[in-house]
Structure 1
Amino acid sequence: MTKYLGLHETLDLHELLSFKNLCLTKATTMSVLAVDAELKAILSADVTTGTQHIQQLQQFLTNRRENS
C-alpha cells in the first residue's frame, strides 16, 4: 500500500507528523503543570495515543522509502 503513495501524500504525512509532534510536546509539558488529577489523566492518555500515532506515521514514511 505505502509504495503507491504520491509525493503530495508523503508531504501530507510529514505535515501530520510535525503536527502530532507539536501536540505531544504540548501535552507532555502541560501534564507537568496540571494540578487537577482528571486533567493529568486526560493529558497522560493523550501522550500515550499521540506516541502511538507518531510511530504509525513514521512507519508509513519508512515503508515508503524502503518500497520505492
Structure 2
Amino acid sequence: MEKEKLALHETLDTHEILNFKTVCLLRSKLMQGLCFDNELKALMEKDVQQSIKDINELLVFYKENPLIQ
C-alpha cells in the first residue's frame, strides 16, 4: 500500500508551521540567555525541547512530499 502524501495546500501549511515553530525555538533559546529567573529559564527550556520534538515530527511529512524535491 502506498503512503499517503500531503496535498499542495497541506504542504504550504506545514511549511508555515515549521517556520513559526523555528522562530519560537530561536526566540526561546535567545531569551534563556537574557533571563535571570531560574523558573522562567526552566519553562523556556521545556518550550525549546517541545519545539524541537514538534519540528522533527513535522519534517517527516514535509521531506516525504515530492513537491519539495
Which TM bucket (shorter chain)?
Answer: 0.7 to 0.9
Give the secondary-structure state (helix, strand or coil) at the position aligned to 2:64.
helix
Normalized per residue, the structure richer in helix is 1
The TM-score with structure 1 as length reference comes to 0.87
Q: Does 1:25 align with 2:47?
A: no
Superposed counterparts of 1:1-68, under 5 Å: 2-3=4-5, 5-65=6-66
List 4+ stretches of structure 1 deviating above 4 A: none
Q: Which runs of 5+ in 2 are unaligned?
A: none
The TM-score with structure 2 as length reference comes to 0.86
Percent of matched pairs sharing the same residue: 42
Letter of the structure 2 residue corresponding to residue 23 of structure 1: C
Q: Matches of 2:14 and 2:53 in 1, distance apart?
A: 15
1:23-49 Cα deviation digits (max 9, x unpaired): 000000001111001000000000000
